[in-house]
Amino acid sequence: MDRLSDEALVDLILKGEKTAFGVLIKRYEKQIYSLAYRLTNNKDDAQDFAQEAFLKIYNNLDKYDKGRPFFPWMYKVASNVCYSELRQSKPQANEVPLEKVIEFSPLIPDKSTHPEEYSQTREVQRLVKQAVAELPEKYRVPLVLKYLEDMSYKEISEIMEIPVSTIETRLYRGRALLQKRLSVTLERGERDEVSGK
């Protein structure tokens, strides 16, 4: 059963073969968990959201269009679930998770001409991770969906249930806010290096 295509597994599930869904879960649990973690920044919440996502996928398999690839459909359902759960969960006061497994290279200033390129790039990535985690949810979610999950404006608009024009504005403002925070942090770091701190 492990060698069957996604679409063949869906056919089996719809015919009552529930073990086929376990194969789909095993096949995609890492991707769905990764999506949930990038949106929540919390391991426990990510596990809960991933479970909710798979439950929703299972309950909506009859709505899947067999003429299209399964993975994009499943991923969109999971994205919708994760964002809905994120909106309903109450934010923790003053709790800002600083560890994110994320590469935000399009937003990292180019330091390739510096002699200590490698160590500086690593430090910049750490600062980016921290800055992204600290962004307000309305900016963080579109940035994650656009730059990490490679979703279109239209897809993000459908998931967040807001107009494409609002998504464009939030992405613009989110990038600007992120770059502003990074610029201040990087300038402070360079001043500290010069002064020997």
pLDDT, tens digit (0-9, with 9 covering 90-100), for 139-158: 888 988 888 788 899 999 98
State how far the Cα of 171 lies from the Cα of 156, in Å rounded to an integer.
11
CATH of segment(s) 1-93? 1.10.1740.10
CATH number for 96-197 (one of 1.10.630.10, 3.30.1330.60, 3.40.630.10, 1.10.10.10): it is 1.10.10.10
Q: How many CA atoms lie within 13 A of 146 on its CB side?
A: 22
* pTM confidence score: 0.61
Give tens-digit pLDDT for 20-69: 999 999 999 999 998 888 887 788 888 999 999 999 999 999 999 988 88
Q: Name the residue with higher pLDDT: 6 or 97.
A: 6
Q: Name the residue with higher pLDDT: 129 or 17.
A: 17
**Confidence at residue 108, expressed as pLDDT on a 0 to 100 scale:** 44
Give tens-digit pLDDT for 82-122: 888 888 875 543 333 323 333 444 444 444 544 555 565 66
**Confidence at residue 127, expressed as pLDDT on a 0 to 100 scale:** 72
**Confidence at residue 85, expressed as pLDDT on a 0 to 100 scale:** 84
**Confidence at residue 96, expressed as pLDDT on a 0 to 100 scale:** 34
Q: Which residues contact 174 (CB under 8 A, 6 or more apart)?
A: 135, 139, 140, 142, 143
Within the chain, all domains assigned CATH 1.10.10.10 are found at: 96-197
Q: How far is CA 4 from CA 11, 21, 64, 66, in A?
A: 11, 12, 17, 15
**Confidence at residue 32, expressed as pLDDT on a 0 to 100 scale:** 92
Q: Are 119 and 82 in contact (CB under 8 A)?
A: no
**Confidence at residue 67, expressed as pLDDT on a 0 to 100 scale:** 86
Within the chain, all domains assigned CATH 1.10.1740.10 are found at: 1-93
The distance between the two most distant Cα atoms of the chain, rounded to a whole number of Å, is: 70
**Confidence at residue 30, expressed as pLDDT on a 0 to 100 scale:** 92
